[in-house]
Structure 1
Amino acid sequence: MAARKHFLVLLTLIICATACTAEQVGAPRPAPRISAPPSVENLPSTKVRSVVDGRTVELADGTRARISLLAEPVSCNAAAALEFATKTLLDKEVRVSSITPGEVSLILPDGTDFALAAVSAGVLRTSGVDGGPLMEAETQASKAKIGLWAQECPTSTPAPPPPVTSTSAAPPPAPPCVVAYRINSTWPGAFQAEVTIRNVSGALINGWALRWRFPDGQTITQMWNATASQSGADVTATNAGYTALIVPDGSISIGFNGSINGLNSVPDAFTLNGAACTVG
């Protein structure tokens, strides 16, 4: 009788092991699908219909856009920047990624970002970049002395020409703009300021660059309603897409946070698209 009981227990264990094994070695369940990250191929494609300057293009649908993260072409290298952009982009199929209103990132057919290609070739500088591939490319171009780095390109606002002393000369035209610079608040090592630009030229302003020089070594850390670029004490504020237009007798305001080390004197001169403004 004991042998029979042992046999039944052993048979039960064998049946259970067989069933469990069959369940484990059954058809595997499919693994969950993981969505692939977005790629360049998923970006919308279009053609560049015209090239306005080294960093401004018109797309096939008539949209005019500024290429993100690129500074305004330096005057002494503007022709080379335009030539490079025209050769690289005109009538070319590109993929477009929108960054901010009025600004785009353009990906070339070989997958290269145009901004990176332009900076690597030394035809344009970066703007609003703190690090990464664009800054590395600008550093390498500067070290290699290529493109605009191979010539003496001033980064500061040129001094206005001396006044004409001839009694027969016509009086100089009235400044086309009035700039008001106001410090809103100050705290240890930093401050916040607002700059208002008023168009008194009598004509529509479509796209602008405001320049000034800080007298006490102030540094801009953040700007809104415009894009800031700074070289030493010299600052250039370039319009955002939504602040490009200033109607006659209209005005726009930009603001920024800055750092200070001691004094925080107000700049005493401003230029708008190269023309001196009245400070008021």
Structure 2
Amino acid sequence: MANFRFGSNDYTVNIRTQHSASLLQGWGVHRLVLGFEVTAHDKYTEDAPFLVSGNLWTSDLPSPASWVGVLHAPGPIGLKPFTTTLTLETSVTDQQLRGLEKTRAGADLTLRADLTLTGLAERRHWPVASDSENIRIPHAAWSIQLAQVDVGAFVDVLVPITTVEARATAARRIREAKTAIRDQRYEHTVTLARQALDAVREACDTQNVNARAAGKKPAERDQEERWAVLIQSAYNLFSGAPHDDTGTTENFTWTRADAVAAVATAASLLARLEDLP
């Protein structure tokens, strides 16, 4: 919570983030709107007008480019004996959004607002005070905003909680893989995705069903066999990460996009087990 003091602690104004954000679509440039709550304490003047301004930065993200933009309020706020709401806005480009997505790597979006509060009618004390507020936008909420402005697509894959040991282990591998993406360990990410598929292959009897499918023309395979071919193909591809076979997998390279695709594939196939008998 940002805390703004005026005078010798005569009164304070607190600004607390609501950890919410919305994106309003433009042509290559979009409006980012952040929500806050405002509370005044002690000897303040009710309805005294204050202007809030500041700068928005990324926080706890591994990127040298941390400045996002200048924050503006639609107009002054008036201090009240109850909590009021405040919105601050800035502009973000498509390029900035792409950079934020690569940097956060599937984690929550963490930002820092460096704010300045200016008393427009303050005569007793110095009218300016500054402080910072950390903001955390949940991954799912931010992904939905990106999809709404047509700069991203969001599919929520929930790997169900299970008492089946192999599947619980696979779910842990998916969580570890998401962390590995944020750490830019892409080969290790793909290795973890392959390990997560072990539970899928066991539950679906993939080896035997895939062997049966191999003896048929693709158009003649039934649905179970086609799923088996997909699962086994993903497993074979991801197996290139932990192995360095001469002339083949030793030459494999893995990008961030490869790692994300591997985790998404493994997670969705693992989630599918919930609907299987």
TM-score range, shorter chain: under 0.3
Q: What TM-score results when the alignment is normalised by the length of structure 1?
A: 0.26
Larger radius of gyration: 1
Q: What TM-score results when the alignment is normalised by the length of structure 2?
A: 0.26
Structure that is richer in helix per residue = 2
Greater relative contact order (Cα < 8 A, sep 6+): 2
